[in-house]
């Protein structure tokens, strides 16, 4: 297959933990040809979508890890698969990219995850589609409602709907310390909608990443455990990643959501769960491949490329 990755600049990859690199390495091992391009390389001209893509050759070196040929304007339909691996922020440029990729699909491109599905699954709000698995949650910009939610539940988490890596997450305990200031800051004085959730004490055991690939549950999860006095388990916020077998509840949630999300065009999804509760549905650029593989021996990248080959119609 000819596989193109829409990603951040390759020079920014930390290959020892990067999931996109793990995908590339496995695809190259199987003899597939790799290409890459960035958001800025997408072009719509005369009704047709192209990308200024370049061929990527892996060197096997951990530092100087790739060679890039000269970029060439290429119709996305010329690739067997286009894999969307652009990291957040999910800003307007990201949305514009999904529109262009959706046009490319109409011209024959096969894009994973489907751009319309990415766009319609806000990683925080998507949990509202599966309320049977969530803790009490409120989404609003109304300060009175947010204060009432805190008064009812006493210990709550407040967070923006467009955050990543744990940025902008606040815990407010029963004393309500700084509640007003936090609400004003996160909502921009009532101009931005945010999410409030009842605090889940099981965060001390980790914020678990459950990977769904081709609608199926990866049998191991990565528990991202907060360190010190930190309430956030995100690896970007200093959390410790510990791989472990998926619990019965993890599997229950994964098996319930997996087929539904796959049917919607989401080949790869990262569910976040704390204790027995679903907290996020990550669809933009889910990670944790290498951490799970290194700690458990389960080859997540191989499972992903298997699913990609099937979805792209090259096997089975």
What residues act catalytically? Answer: 124, 159, 209, 224, 232, 272, 280, 282
Using CA atoms, how far apart are residues 106 and 100, in angstroms rounded to an integer? 10
Give the β-pairing of 33-37 and 48-58.
antiparallel
Phi, psi values for residue 259, rounded to 5°: -60, -35
* 3 state DSSP class of 83: strand
- CB contact set of 177 (below 8 Å; sequence gap of 6+): none
The DSSP call for residue 193 is -
Tokens of 228: 């010190």
Q: Three-class SS of residue 110? A: coil
- Strands, E assignment, the chain: 2-7, 33-37, 42-45, 48-58, 66-68, 72-75, 81-85, 111-112, 137-140, 156-160, 170-172, 194-198, 207-213, 216-217, 220-225, 240-245, 268-274, 277-282
Q: CA angle 113-119-123, nearest 5°?
A: 90
Helix (H, G, I), strand (E, B) or coil at 262: helix
30 contact partners, CB below 8 Å, separation of at least 6: 305
Quick one: tokens of 75? Answer: 């119709």
Beta-carbon contacts of 287 under 8 Å, excluding residues fewer than 6 positions away, are: 17, 18, 19, 209, 270
Phi first, then psi, for residue 102 (nearest 5°) are -65, -40
């Amino acid at each position: 297959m000819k596989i193109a990755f829409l990603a951040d600049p390759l020079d920014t990859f930390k290959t020892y933990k990067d999931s996109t690199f793990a995908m590339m390495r496995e695809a190259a091992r199987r003899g597939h040809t790799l290409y890459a391009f960035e958001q800025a390389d997408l072009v719509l001209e005369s009704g047709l979508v192209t990308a200024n893509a370049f061929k990527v050759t892996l060197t096997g070196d951990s530092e100087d890890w790739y060679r890039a040929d000269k970029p060439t304007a290429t119709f996305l339909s010329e690739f067997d698969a286009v894999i969307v691996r652009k990291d957040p922020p999910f800003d307007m440029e990201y949305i514009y990219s999904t529109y262009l990729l959706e046009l490319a699909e109409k011209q024959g491109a096969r894009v994973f995850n489907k751009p319309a599905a990415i766009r319609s699954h806000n990683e925080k709000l998507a949990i509202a589609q599966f309320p049977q698995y969530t803790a009490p949650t409120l989404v609003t910009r109304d300060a009175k409602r947010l204060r009432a939610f805190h008064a009812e539940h006493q210990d709550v988490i407040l967070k923006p709907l467009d955050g990543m890596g744990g940025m902008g997450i606040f815990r407010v305990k029963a004393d309500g310390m700084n509640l007003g200031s936090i609400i004003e800051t996160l909502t921009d004085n009532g101009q931005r909608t945010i999410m409030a959730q009842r605090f889940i004490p099981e965060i001390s055991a980790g914020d678990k990443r459950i990977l769904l690939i081709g609608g199926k549950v990866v049998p191991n999860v990565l528990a991202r455990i907060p360190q010190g006095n930190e309430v956030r388990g995100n690896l970007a916020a200093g959390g410790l990643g510990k791989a472990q077998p998926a619990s019965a509840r993890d599997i229950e949630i994964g098996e319930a959501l997996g087929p539904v999300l796959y049917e919607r065009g989401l080949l790869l999804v990262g569910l976040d769960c704390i204790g027995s509760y679903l907290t996020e549905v990550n669809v933009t650029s889910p990670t944790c491949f290498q951490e799970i593989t290194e700690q458990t021996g389960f080859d997540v990248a191989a499972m992903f490329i298997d699913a990609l080959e099937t979805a792209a119609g090259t096997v089975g």
